[in-house]
């Protein structure tokens, strides 16, 4: 089997298998041991913290200078230490100082915080696995695995921190691995100029070199197009219009912006946590850009009225007029009273979007379409035929298909709902997604990412009620 | 109606060119303001708006005083007057006189001002860009009147809005900031012939310089104190001052300004063609190209072709070198004003010969047949689908419309239409045209240029 296909499958299996390990419930009591194999007693794991203030810890347990020195020898230097918080079963203290403990007495439950290094190797592994699954399960569920047709670097097992790499594609066809040092990417879009933090990006596509077709892809799959500049960043040794990366051996490399074709950022554990998504709507612009944003003040100003975004299902701008579909089922039509709509992007920056640029605004958080939206009432009109020898590559698209004039012969489906699709199995990912849409009705829409001539685009297919 | 106007413009232009004002004027009758005086036969030699009063004869000085004109410097003409001899058959004597303009009749004044206007303007008319993006720029086609010393009425810029309407007025915004893939800079209004706003879905705009340079990218209208808020276009029209959002503007065609071409295309200026399709005239820093560890004088180079960071330098003496650029960025000063450094990866070609400034797509042809275009019979200038063997294949599309030929409005209704005539002239055996520039309109908002040249070595 092709190793890359095997890798893809492994990833798919892992992604689907992981949610089985539910770790949101309480941990059981178990026996714990010290690093020197001494018995610590029965305890229940409560918390694992990789950066606990040493100052706080010294207030909770006795930490002599020798012990601090020992911790340092274990790699725990600085003001923060890794700790494990347990609820330990402790035999009750006898009432008399000289009395022997009563083995039959009900133990007391005491919460303790110990340095991670105090624990035996087996217990350390246990803690790490627990933390990994607890932290990673929701992350795996949410996070975007495929961007621009490329797999993002996801840590698939629970090793100690190791560098995962961003992948940098150059225009000459070569590929580099490294950690991008530039902390932000600046975009001049037709609707404004702003910078997005690297940590909120999953990919950067440098367009055709003609300008205007560069693309920032957010970790939330937001797409923002325009001319990208790489601002100077003296703090990390970046000069304007240069990308600086560090490789495995810590050496840094500087690359001219014009030589870059694409960057696929590694998946970072915290990348989805800081998104400003509360109360946000999905804004789709007429030029194909789409982003999650909060409408300033949480309301639409239509004529002299103010309509709370929370009451609106969607807004479509038709011939310059705003058509609001209300959650109550009603419809309101009017003109935006402001020429520019102030918006706060979930990716950080605040922008003003000229009203004529807006296509649709979806306030319903359950519908986040990407690219062209197609609707289908039955699976028949969504049938696709693939080349036998090339998984995911389309043969001609029939006139009766909803994909007609959207997809073309030779297009390759590179992801379905942000996952690498499996076209080798009897039940391909595509067939499974159609099932979930029309038979199981567990989904209401899906998103295909399609590659054509080296460029990618997306199509959202939504089920209608017939 | 519009066509008639355009035709008039073309006609006027063609009529103007044969009138060479460097040839001597014919003798004609001149009348005094006082109609009682007999006309004199004279030839106009010179006109000046600033004649020294003392140069006039005592007769005219007295006349001026009597007329209440007391300025020391005033408009006047130099005439060669025929002075009849006693007998009619004897040849008249010719003498030169300085005459105050005020002395002459109104019709003679008009004659002088026309003569002066055309003599001053002929060169300007020849050089300047008359049609841009398929629209004639507002050129003053009549002489300026000097009514009571008042300024002539202002010319109009044309402002096209996205709603299909068109406004006339004078644009006030002075600065146009463009962010291109190769740099970001500001071009002054005085150097612009046209602006196309958001020509594609990506939102790119195009600035067209008075020298036909093309700069494309994201356009901003920076705020200027007492002029405009950012991203508003402000112009003065008959209705007073109007202000329009940038997003509502589709196009601006600027009026032709008398000094707009001053200082352009001077010695050392090269024509750069960039990978994104833009073309710019610029001066290379210190007139030298840093290539292959040495500097080459631009004046010695015919052209440079750039591919994969390698520069093929073709010298005027026929020699050739292949080198890498010594520096990543080439410092330039655009003829249109701004100075910046362009990364060599953006460069495609550089023409150092000032006589060769191709615009848009460049098509080299060996014969007239190579560049023939088939037009729609019912729609003049409308292109039919080019065949796959045509030089225009991949450039022109069915429905494209030719809106200018050599920067003039084309005439497709005559038997010998402008296009056929231009191609004929390109391959004329006696006086071949060096190139033919064709302006193309595609759809509502897209314009581009094609330059036709004879293939090198195929000189007629």
The residue that leads in pLDDT, B445 or A465, is: B445
CB contact under 8 A, A226 and B202: yes
B245: closest chain A residue by CA: A339
The verdict on B282 and B327 lying in the same domain is yes
The verdict on A60 and A177 lying in the same domain is no
The verdict on A197 and A129 lying in the same domain is no
Q: Residue B430 domain-assigned?
A: yes
What residues of A are in contact with residue B347 (Cβ under 8 Å)?
none
A259 interface with B at CB cutoff 8 Å:
yes
Rounded to an integer, the average pLDDT of A163-176 is: 89
The verdict on A134 and A174 lying in the same domain is no
Whole-number pLDDT of residue A155: 66
How far, CA to CA in Å, does A234 sit from each of A183, A230, A237, B168, B328? 10, 12, 5, 49, 21
Q: What residue has token string 């000289």?
A: A98
> Is residue A393 pLDDT above 60, yes or no?
yes
What residues of A are in contact with residue B203 (Cβ under 8 Å)?
189-190, 212, 226, 287
Whole-number pLDDT of residue B158: 93
pLDDT in tens, B68-100: 998 899 999 999 998 887 766 677 788 999 999
Q: Give chain B's domain count.
A: 4
Print the domain residue range for B49.
3-120
* Cβ atoms B347, B334 nearer than 8 A: no
Among A32-41, A154-163, A424-433, B20-29, name the most confident range.
A32-41
Residues of B with CB under 8 A from a CB of A: 179-181, 198, 200-204, 216-218, 245, 247-248, 275-277, 328, 343, 345-346
pLDDT band of residue A10 (cuts 50, 70, 90) is very low
Whole-number pLDDT of residue A213: 84
> Is residue A5 pLDDT above 60, yes or no?
no
Whole-number pLDDT of residue A9: 35
A208: closest chain B residue by CA: B276
* Domain boundary, last residue among A216, A240, A264: A264
> Is residue A11 pLDDT above 60, yes or no?
no
Q: Residue A275 domain-assigned?
A: no
pLDDT in tens, A264-300: 998 887 788 778 777 889 999 998 899 999 988 889 9
The verdict on A216 and A312 lying in the same domain is no
Q: Residue B263 domain-assigned?
A: no
A359 interface with B at CB cutoff 8 Å:
no
CB-nearest to B181 from A210, A256, A259 is: A210
Q: What residue has token string 């028949």?
A: A380
Whole-number pLDDT of residue B16: 35
> Is residue A251 pLDDT above 80, yes or no?
yes
What residues of A are in contact with residue B218 (Cβ under 8 Å)?
188-190, 211-212, 226-227
Shortest alpha-carbon distance between residue A436 and chain B (Å): 35
Share of chain A above pLDDT 90, in %: 55
The verdict on A171 and A131 lying in the same domain is no
> Is residue A225 pLDDT above 90, yes or no?
yes
B202: closest chain A residue by CA: A212
Q: Residue B130 domain-assigned?
A: no
Q: Residue A333 domain-assigned?
A: yes
What is the token pair recorded at A76? 């725990």
Rounded to an integer, the average pLDDT of B280-287 is: 90
The verdict on A393 and A453 lying in the same domain is yes
Q: Residue B438 domain-assigned?
A: yes
Question: Where residue A453 sits, what CATH number does that domain have?
Answer: 2.30.42.10
* Domain boundary, last residue among A340, A362, A384: A362
Q: What's the mean pLDDT when you consider all of chain B?
A: 85
The verdict on B115 and B10 lying in the same domain is yes
What residues of B are in contact with residue A225 (Cβ under 8 Å)?
202
CB contact under 8 A, B275 and A210: yes
Q: Residue B66 domain-assigned?
A: yes
Q: What residue has token string 């998103």?
A: A447
The verdict on B166 and B246 lying in the same domain is yes
The verdict on A404 and A379 lying in the same domain is yes
Sign (positive or negative) of CA dihedral A423, A427, A431, A437: negative
The verdict on A259 and A326 lying in the same domain is no
pLDDT in tens, A65-114: 888 888 888 877 778 889 999 999 988 877 776 777 777 788 889 999 99
Residue B407, Ramachandran bin (φ over 0: left; ψ between -120 and 50: alpha; else beta): left
* Domain boundary, last residue among B302, B330, B351: B351
pLDDT in tens, B171-193: 999 999 999 999 999 999 999 99
B181: closest chain A residue by CA: A211
Q: Residue A271 domain-assigned?
A: no
Mutate to test the interface with B, among A170, A174, A210, A287 (most CBs of B within 10 A): A210
Mutate to test the interface with A, among B182, B202, B231, B348 (most CBs of A within 10 A): B202
Q: Residue B247 domain-assigned?
A: yes
Rounded to an integer, the average pLDDT of B320-331 is: 87
Whole-number pLDDT of residue B324: 84
A 174-213: CB under 8 A from B: 188-190, 209-213
* Domain boundary, last residue among A229, A264, A299: A264
* Cβ atoms B133, B208 nearer than 8 A: yes
CB contact under 8 A, A211 and B217: yes
Whole-number pLDDT of residue A375: 93
Q: Residue B149 domain-assigned?
A: no
CB-nearest to A211 from B180, B247, B248 is: B180
* Cβ atoms B180, A211 nearer than 8 A: yes
> Is residue A424 pLDDT above 90, yes or no?
no
Q: Residue B262 domain-assigned?
A: no
Beta bridge mates, A293: A281, A345
Shortest alpha-carbon distance between residue B277 and chain A (Å): 8
The verdict on B280 and B228 lying in the same domain is no
Among A20-29, A76-85, B119-128, name the most confident range.
A76-85
CB-nearest to A356 from B247, B277, B343 is: B247
* Cβ atoms B227, B374 nearer than 8 A: no
pLDDT band of residue B143 (cuts 50, 70, 90) is low
The verdict on B164 and B241 lying in the same domain is yes
CB-nearest to B179 from A188, A256, A258 is: A188
pLDDT band of residue B459 (cuts 50, 70, 90) is very low
Q: Give burial (CB, 10 Å; 0-12/13-18/19+) of B254.
A: buried
Sign (positive or negative) of CA dihedral B95, B101, B107, B111: positive
The verdict on A48 and A93 lying in the same domain is yes
The verdict on B14 and B68 lying in the same domain is yes
Rounded to an integer, the average pLDDT of A240-258 is: 91
- Chains A, B: CB contacts within 8 A come to 61
Whole-number pLDDT of residue A136: 66
The verdict on A381 and A453 lying in the same domain is yes
Closest by alpha carbon to B279, among B394, B389, B437? B437
The verdict on B339 and B321 lying in the same domain is yes
Print the domain residue range for A31.
3-142
Whole-number pLDDT of residue B21: 37
The verdict on B113 and B28 lying in the same domain is yes
What residues of A are in contact with residue B217 (Cβ under 8 Å)?
211-212, 227
Rounded to an integer, the average pLDDT of A172-182 is: 93
The verdict on B450 and B346 lying in the same domain is no
Q: Give chain A's domain count.
A: 4
What residues of B are in contact with residue A258 (Cβ under 8 Å)?
343, 345-346
CB-nearest to A212 from B218, B248, B345 is: B218
The verdict on B159 and B238 lying in the same domain is yes
The verdict on A134 and A158 lying in the same domain is no
CB contact under 8 A, B346 and A209: yes
Q: Residue A317 domain-assigned?
A: yes
What are the φ/ψ torsions at residue B167 (nearest 5 degrees)?
-120, 150
The verdict on A39 and A74 lying in the same domain is yes
The verdict on B323 and B386 lying in the same domain is no
Whole-number pLDDT of residue B197: 96
The residue that leads in pLDDT, B152 or B112, is: B112
């Amino acid at each position: 089997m092709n190793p890359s296909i095997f890798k893809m499958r492994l990833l798919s299996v892992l992604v689907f298998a992981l949610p089985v390990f539910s770790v949101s419930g309480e941990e059981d009591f178990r026996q714990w041991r010290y690093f020197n194999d001494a018995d610590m007693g029965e305890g229940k794991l409560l918390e694992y913290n990789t950066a606990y203030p040493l100052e706080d810890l010294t207030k909770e347990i006795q930490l002599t200078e020798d012990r601090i020195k020992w911790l340092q020898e274990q790699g725990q230097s600085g003001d923060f230490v890794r700790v494990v918080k347990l609820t330990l079963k402790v035999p009750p203290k006898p009432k008399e100082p000289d009395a022997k403990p009563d083995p039959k007495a009900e133990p007391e439950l005491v919460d303790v915080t110990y340095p991670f290094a105090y624990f035996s190797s087996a217990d350390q592994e246990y803690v790490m696995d627990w933390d990994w699954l607890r932290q990673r399960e929701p992350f795996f569920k949410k996070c975007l695995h495929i961007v621009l047709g490329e797999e993002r670097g996801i840590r698939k097992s629970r090793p100690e921190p190791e560098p995962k790499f961003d992948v940098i594609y150059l225009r000459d066809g070569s590929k580099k691995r490294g950690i991008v040092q530039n902390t932000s990417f600046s975009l001049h879009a037709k609707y404004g100029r702003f910078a997005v933090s690297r940590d909120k990006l999953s990919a950067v596509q440098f367009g055709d070199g003609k300008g205007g077709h560069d693309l920032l892809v957010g970790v939330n799959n937001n797409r923002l197009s325009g001319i990208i500049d790489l601002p100077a960043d003296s703090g990390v040794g970046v000069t304007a219009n240069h990308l600086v990366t560090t490789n495995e051996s810590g050496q840094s490399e500087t690359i001219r912006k014009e030589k870059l074709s694409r960057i696929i950022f590694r998946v970072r554990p915290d990348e989805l946590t800081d998104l400003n998504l509360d109360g946000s709507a999905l804004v789709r612009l007429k030029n194909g850009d789409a982003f999650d944003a909060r409408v300033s003040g949480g309301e639409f100003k239509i004529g002299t009225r103010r309509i709370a975004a929370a009451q609106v299902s969607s807004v479509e701008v038709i011939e310059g007029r705003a058509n609001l579909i209300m959650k109550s089922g009603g419809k309101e039509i009017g003109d935006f009273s402001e020429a520019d709509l102030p918006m706060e992007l979930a990716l950080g920056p605040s922008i003003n979007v000229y009203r004529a640029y807006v296509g649709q605004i979806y306030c319903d958080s359950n519908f986040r379409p990407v690219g062209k939206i197609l609707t289908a009432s039955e699976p028949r009109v969504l049938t696709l035929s693939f080349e036998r020898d090339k998984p995911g590559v389309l043969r001609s698209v029939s006139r009766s298909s909803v994909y007609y004039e959207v997809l073309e012969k030779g297009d390759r489906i590179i992801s379905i709902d942000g996952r690498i699709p499996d076209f080798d199995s009897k039940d391909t990912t595509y067939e499974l997604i159609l099932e979930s849409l029309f038979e199981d009705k567990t989904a209401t829409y899906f998103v295909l990412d399609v590659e054509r001539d080296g460029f990618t685009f997306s199509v959202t297919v939504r089920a209608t009620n017939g | 109606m519009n066509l008639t106007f355009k035709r008039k413009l073309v006609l006027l232009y063609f009529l103007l060119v044969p009138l060479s004002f460097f040839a001597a004027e014919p003798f004609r009758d001149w009348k005094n303001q006082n109609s009682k005086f007999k006309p004199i036969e004279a030839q106009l030699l010179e006109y000046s708006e600033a004649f020294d009063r003392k140069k006039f004869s005592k007769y005219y000085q007295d006349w001026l005083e009597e007329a209440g004109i007391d300025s020391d410097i005033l408009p006047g003409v130099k005439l060669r007057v025929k002075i009849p001899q006693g007998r009619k058959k004897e040849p008249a004597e010719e003498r030169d006189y300085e005459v105050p303009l005020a002395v002459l009749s109104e019709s003679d004044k008009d004659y002088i001002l026309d003569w002066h206007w055309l003599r001053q303007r002929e060169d300007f008319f020849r050089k300047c860009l008359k049609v841009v993006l398929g629209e004639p720029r507002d050129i003053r086609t009549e002489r300026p009147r000097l009514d009571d010393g008042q300024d002539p009425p202002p010319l109009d810029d044309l402002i096209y809005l996205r709603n299909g309407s068109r406004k006339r007025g004078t644009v006030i915004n002075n600065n146009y900031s463009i962010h291109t893939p190769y740099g970001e800079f500001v071009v002054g209004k005085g150097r612009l012939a046209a602006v196309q706003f958001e020509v594609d879905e990506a939102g790119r705009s195009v600035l067209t310089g008075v020298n036909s340079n093309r700069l494309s990218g994201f356009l901003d209208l920076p705020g200027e104190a007492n002029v405009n808020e950012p991203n508003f276009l402000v112009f003065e029209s008959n209705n007073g001052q109007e202000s329009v959002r940038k997003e509502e503007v589709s196009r601006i065609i600027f009026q032709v300004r008398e000094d707009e071409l001053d200082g352009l295309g001077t010695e050392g200026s090269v024509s750069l063609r960039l990978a994104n399709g833009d073309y710019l005239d610029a001066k290379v820093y210190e007139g030298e190209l840093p290539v292959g560890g040495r500097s080459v004088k631009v004046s010695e180079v015919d052209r440079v072709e750039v591919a994969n960071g390698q520069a093929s330098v073709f010298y005027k003496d026929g020699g050739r070198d292949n080198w890498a650029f010594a520096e990543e960025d080439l410092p330039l000063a655009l003829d249109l004003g701004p100075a910046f450094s362009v990364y060599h990866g953006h460069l495609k070609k550089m023409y150092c010969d000032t006589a060769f400034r191709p615009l848009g797509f460049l098509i080299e042809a060996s014969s007239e047949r190579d560049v023939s275009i088939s037009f729609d019979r019912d729609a003049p200038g409308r292109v039919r689908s080019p065949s796959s063997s045509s030089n225009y294949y991949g450039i022109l599309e069915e429905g494209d419309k030719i809106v200018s030929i050599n920067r003039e409005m084309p005439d497709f209704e005559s038997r010998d239409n402008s296009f056929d005539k231009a191609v004929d002239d390109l391959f004329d055996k006696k006086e071949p045209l060096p190139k033919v520039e064709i302006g193309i309109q595609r759809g509502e908002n897209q314009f581009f240029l094609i330059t036709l040249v004879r293939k090198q070595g195929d000189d007629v």
